[in-house]
Structure 1
Amino acid sequence: MSEITFPVHNVDVIVNFYRTEVLTAQEAKHLSASDLSPTPKPEAVQTLYMRVLYLLYRFRPECHFMVPPEENLQYPEYHEGASAIMSIYMCMRQFLPVCLVYDFSLSDLTAPKKQRTLTVLSAIMNFLHFRKQRMEVMSEKNAKLRGDMDRLQAYNKSNLEAEKKIEMLMTIPPEQKAEADELAAALSELEATTVHEYQESNVINESIKDWKTKIAEKNQKLAQMKVDVSNLKEEITKLKSQIVESPEELKSQMEKMRENVRHIKNSIKETDERVVELQNMVQSEMHTEAEMQQMYNLLQDLESSMNTTKQKQEEYQELTIQLEKMQKELKNLCNEEGQLKRALAMKLDKESKQNIRRQMKREMKDQHVQDVLGQCNQIHQKREEMADKIQEITRETQQLKAKTQSLRDICNKETEKAQGLFDRLSASLQDLHRRIEMQLEDLKQDILKVPANV
């Protein structure tokens, strides 16, 4: 004990700890500081060691006083007191190296010393603190593992329910198969009609744009004609003041002007009717734009579902990491159990009764290890099932990506078509502007000719 790696506590601290954590009932009440200092009592020290062994290994204190029945002793009652001390000594020799105390002797039980007993008790106290912390950590990990297992079971149940629902939705009963075929045929007809209507709507949109340009041109012409008419009226009034015309010529000119006004009114009515038709066409076009917006919203929903699948994959990776950690801890526990079994095998020949009890403990531990290994196998099976489900999810995501890519290709084609239509419309507009300019020049020439004729 020259180099101690744990703190040596005072007598009061040790007494309080063993009263609260190790001893029970009357033993905790009777233990006092006088039992350990200035000269520790062997009976008190032996009871403390027996209670520590019972707390750790569940080895009852009365079992230390039993003499092995297989040994042929002439007077077994003389060996009862020594057998208890030797049993405690052998058990403490096996246990104290775990507490980093390697030089435990028989005199520490029969004639204990103050400093020596305080160091041993403080070493056991340090080990019990460490054991308590590890047990808390293991309980937290077990709680987390149980929660994760519950989540896995819930996910498996939800996946099974979803698969059943998918199967129910995908399978068509024979009674409804004819109706499903009829619906499929109707859907194909509807798709064909929608494609045809979409083409017609494109043609109508083009015609609407053409009519809009024509209407704008006619409005410009009407405005120009009104300005010209007002100018001509002013000139006519000026000329009337200078020249006296015949009434017949005036009547003929008035009739011509009335006919021109009638023609202009008829053209305005026709343009109004055409504007109403164009408004109806524009409303149908707005309806198609709303349908396209719905398709865009569906694509956004698909992206959100992809994000949820990624989050589930991350959670599965975290669970696999936790399983690997638990497997490593199980391996360490198995190694420690193997070491304990080897140490117990060396003492089987000397203590037959202890051999029987240790054999029972071994069987219990083996059963526990088998249960743990069975749970690990179940976890591995569930992990494989989760891996298969993740592969199915990845396949579904790939299918969704392919669908989105096809939809993008269709959108690109439609944009190319729209760009071609736009180019055509721009070219037609340029031609219309040229024609308008030519007609304006003709109108100017006609206006110049009118005063000459007058």
Structure 2
Amino acid sequence: MASSSAGAGANGGGANGGDNYSSFPAVKTEELVAVLNEMGLLIGAEDIVKPQGHVAHRVFVAFLECLSGTNQELMERTRQSTLAQTEYKEMYEDGLQFLMLFREVREMMAAATITDFHLQDMTRPNPKRFKRQMSALVNFYRFRSDRIAEFEELITNSEDLETRRNELEDDIDQNRSELDRIKRQREIDEPKVQALKATNAQVTEKLMQARRLQDRLINEIDVHKSDREQLVAKQQGLFEEKLRLTEKLTYLKARVVSSPKKMKSTVTELVEKVNQDTLSLSESEKKARDYEERLEVLNNLDADLEACLVAMEQVNAELLRTSGEERDFEDTAALCETRNHESEQLEHQLQQTTRKVTLAIEKIERSKKLLDGKMEIHAQKMEALSEELEKIKAVKQERLALADIRLNEGDQIEDKINELRLMYDDYCSRMHRQKESIEKAVTVYISTLTNTLDLDRFEDATSLQV
């Protein structure tokens, strides 16, 4: 089922994949054969015109090792590590190896702009599709400058990312050290802050108590002020009454008109009244002194309250500073978390880039080793060809010398031939002259015979001779 669906996909891809011809030039069969022979594959034109499954397998494996650096050893290690985690691995060995090869070849073909590569292209290759795929791989094999530029750009970006990562790591280390310092300072200030909070609570409680006491004392002061005003007014009235009584007593002393008993009773009444007023005045003065002492206590409480307010302001300032430091700490922690997240992302990107660079370097090293091996093979071939060329040159010199000898001999032979030709011409001329003389003699002889013999008999003899 898999091969049939792959075959259908391959046919469909062949029908729709004609646009891929525009992405690379078609390569002639002779050039394909030359490139494959250069890669060490003994492939003929007949194998490309009428491809077979084993031929396609050899070609794709060779290009895979040359272009992507994926060799059989690497695939075998991957296959073994995958099968180690699978039960009944003997059931999947061959199939897994072929599927891994197909996946690698398909990725290579996608890099070579062939996006319609299917499983049937490896098992039952189509001649047109196979030649098109070979053209893409040969072009990719010959013209890889864009990939090399991309690889160099990747290396440059990797270096920039590594530099950026180092800078971020330095910033993170600084932020961590600053965060540790803030944590240590916070731990150091924690008892002080707790003590300040406790002191603040105590001072707040004292302030509330003092405020309640102040309100109560202010109310009492207001009451006592009103009492004091009344007492002062009463004291003033008593003082005026005392003056009036003193004047009256003086007046009465000056005027002793009444009886002594009446005067004595009046004086006694006045003295008692004065004593009562004096006692009332002393009590009022005592209350006034008491009020003054209470007022002084209230003034002291006001001063203590102002000091407590100043302390409260200082505590509030400390609390504001502490809350600001807490916010700074939270901001720094959030910034550190953000930087850590960015660092993790950059580290992940750097790991991916490092893996890509490592794979690319491994590919380059393998390509370099392959190129060095090919160069060594070509160097050996060149040495062998040089030796053969020297031998050919020596043989050529010998043959040139022999040719000179043969030319000299040919000249001599030609001279001899010319001499022989002259001799032959001379001989021919002599023979021709002899022939003419013989013909003349024969003619004379025939004429003589004709004259002497019978003519008919001569004609019969002549016809017989002819």
TM class, shorter-length? 0.3 to 0.5
Query: What TM-score results when the alignment is normalised by the length of structure 2?
Result: 0.34
Which has the greater radius of gyration?
A: 2
